[in-house]
Amino acid sequence: MQRAAYIDLRQSTAAQVLRNRESTDRRYGLADRALQLGWPKHQIIVIDEHLARSGFATITTEVALGHAGLILSIEVSRVARNNTDWDRLLDLCGVTGSSIGGRGRPLSAWLFNDRLLSTMNGTMAEAEFRVIRTRLESGIRSGVIRTLSDKFAETGSARQVWLWFRSQPIPFPLQSSTPPEIQWVDAIYDAIYHVLTNSVYAGAYMGSKASACAICHNPSGACS
């Protein structure tokens, strides 16, 4: 407890910092938590220089140097964005005797049960992050494809749809083999044309003739 207590105030985006003030205020309240745990005010360091960025690098350095006795965050497993970084931080805490906590009891990484609980927290947080990201990306892709089909129904021209996308700040989903994840890029004509002529997007494999075509809205289920 003669070392410093570090409060990580990272939030996901700059917009969240501006609009979600309640969350920011909760994070500043962690300083009071450190006081309750016995840390003097002058040994409580709040990492808030860049609220929309993670203080992970700073925290890792201070732990490795033996300067940190306690790390506090609203969700301690979100101090790091992936399990690799999280496990590295836990290893360092185990070596230097630093504790990690939130609103509950601080966890001691050198104790087996606490280390196990911390590892599980990190695993669950990364899984939750990936599920949310997948859902959001899926929703965005669906919105873009629907917008594309609506514009094609309005203009009847792949080129006009492409020009419209180029005139709007709307990224277009592109899947490549390296890496396999979806990339969001400026719309290109070939991609627009591929969607408009691909039988999958046209609804040919919907399995029901009652399904309207996603491109031309033909109730037969595929473009004629």
What gap in Å lies between CA 6 and CA 221, rounded to an integer?
Answer: 59
Q: What is the pLDDT of residues 168-220, one digit of tens each?
A: 878 887 766 665 667 777 888 888 888 888 756 555 444 434 344 444 444 44
Query: Which residue shows structure tokens 């609103």?
Result: 103
Taking the C-alpha atoms of residue 58 and residue 63, their distance in angstroms, rounded to an integer, is 9
Q: Give the chain's domain count.
A: 2
89 versus 10: the higher-pLDDT residue is 89
Report the catalytic residues.
12
End-of-domain residue from the set 63, 95, 110: 110
Quote the pLDDT of residue 146.
82
Gyration radius of the chain over CA positions:
25
Q: What is the span of the domain harbouring residue 71?
A: 4-110
Tens of pLDDT, residues 49-62: 554 455 788 889 99
Q: Which of 65, 91, 110 is the last residue of a domain?
A: 110
Mark whether 34 and 95 lie in a shared domain.
Answer: yes
- What is the C-alpha to C-alpha distance for residues 154 and 172, in angstroms, rounded to an integer? 19
Question: In the predicted model, what is the mean pLDDT of residues 148-161?
Answer: 87
pLDDT in tens, 31-89: 888 999 999 999 999 887 554 455 788 889 999 999 999 998 877 656 776 778 888 88
| pTM higher than the cut 0.75 | no
**Is there a domain that residue 123 lies in?**
no
In contact, 82 and 53? CB cutoff 8 Å: no
Within-domain flag for 122: no
**222 belongs to a structural domain:** yes
**69 and 143 inside one domain:** no
Residues 193 and 100 placed together within one structural domain of the fold: no
**Are 193 and 148 in the same domain?**
yes
Residues 106 and 147 reside in one and the same domain: no
Token duo for residue 208: 């029901």
Do residues 158 and 70 share a domain?
A: no
